[in-house]
Amino acid sequence: MIGDAGFLAGHTALVTASSRNLGASIVSALAAQGADVVVTYQRSRDQAEALIAGLPPGRHACVPGDLSHTDGIVGMVEAAVEAASGTIDIVVNNSGPFSMVPFVELEPSEWDRIWTANVKAAYLTSKMLIPAMGGWGRVVNVSAGSAYLRTHSIYTLAKDAMVTFTEALAVEVGPTVTVNCVAPGQIAESADDMAEFDPSFVERAIRATPLGRLVTRSEVAGIVVELCGPRFGAVTGVTIPVDGGGRLPTF
């Protein structure tokens, strides 16, 4: 999926919630194409530093950030700007804690945590960084396959909102900045994590997926990188489901 090596050389990317899991895969894919990357973490500083140490040579950095509240988001962005090697012109809004507590049982504090770390973090990070991008910029938001379900409560609502946010922001900030979104289905490497919430989900997801398997982190990361590259320069305001067709309704 990833094209000619180095097509992101000279660009600096911020990937939120990126010390591990999908975020770390996105960091590695961006750095492989020459981007300098700022990694953010909440508690996993050691993992963030180890990730950076394994990247291709570049002016990479890591900064802390608790994205579950406004001050934490603002502080993370300010720290990233200070740590970056140049203007941050690629933003990947990857933060996205999960919850499937039914609405009638959901505590307001949990609503606030999930909504803020998913949606408000994407809005504030974009708001703070896009004005400085100048004549070129890329924003990639991370939704989820849960956006197409109606059984994941506040997470469904938050990830569905990311799709609309992507479209509205793309209209506002074009033509110099493109804004796109990926919506991964259940990711293979995170199957065990999902099983803690719903033990039967992974089996059902595979059975309902035309591809017959789960997607991988590297597949999702490859699409994120392509959305930042020259081949997708005319694409903005779209959400690409990366779910093997699992969202398609069947009877």
Q: What is the pLDDT of residues 25-53, one digit of tens each?
A: 999 999 999 999 999 999 989 999 999 99
b/e code 163-179 from CB counts within 10 Å (16+ = b): bebbeebbeebeeebbb
> Phi first, then psi: what are they for 159, rounded to 5°?
-75, -30
SS3 content of the chain, % helix, strand, coil (to 5): 50, 15, 35
Residue 174: predicted pLDDT = 97
Of 119, 123, 21, 40, nearest to 83 by C-alpha is: 40
Q: For 12-185+217-242, CATH number? A: 3.40.50.720
- Treating both helix axes as pointing N-terminal to C-terminal, what angle do 217-228 and 21-32 enclose, rounded to 10 degrees? 50
Q: What is the pTM of this model?
A: 0.95
- Residue among 84, 78, 82, 72 at smallest CA distance from 13: 84
The distance from CA 175 to its chain's CA centroid, rounded to whole angstroms, is 22
d(CA 53, CA 218): 19
**Domain definitions of the chain by residue range:** 12-185+217-242
pLDDT digits (tens, 9 = 90+) for 186-204: 999 999 988 888 999 999 9
Q: Are 228 and 14 in contact (CB under 8 A)?
A: no
Query: What's the confidence (pLDDT) of residue 3?
Result: 43
Q: Tell me the average pLDDT of the chain.
A: 95
Beta carbons within 8 Å of 61's beta carbon, 6+ residues apart = 37, 38, 39, 52, 80, 83, 84, 85
pLDDT attached to residue 18: 97
